Homo-oligomer: A and B are copies of this chain.
């Protein structure tokens, strides 16, 4: 279900994070570290949005068109939940 694109982005983020850990070990300037962490957060958010788009175009369509009302409600509730959560991180 997940595109290769998602995996590649996450691996890039992992490399970025390892770079920040090295910065901290080498006692880099605090503000530079914070800025790198903010860039990582922005990259993670973008990746989440990509995953959600995949999800909307696969599972959500299947569930909404399916016969199970319970399943449909579950899938739509999850989207509302991750949306609400996304405003807090």
Q: Is the interface of A mostly helix, strand, loop or mixed?
A: helix
Pairwise interchain contact B27-A18, C-beta atoms closer than 8 A: no
Give how many A residues have a beta carbon under 8 Å from the other chain's beta carbons.
57
> Which chain B residue has the least Cβ–Cβ distance from A6?
B24
Q: Which residues of B contact A30 (CB under 8 A)?
A: 1-2, 51-52, 54-55, 59
Which residue of B1, B41, B76 is within 8 Å of A44 (Cβ)? B41
- Chain A interface residues (CB < 8 Å from chain B): 1-2, 6-7, 10-11, 13-14, 17-18, 20-21, 24-25, 27, 30-31, 33-35, 37-38, 40-42, 44-49, 51-57, 59-61, 64-65, 72, 76-80, 82-89
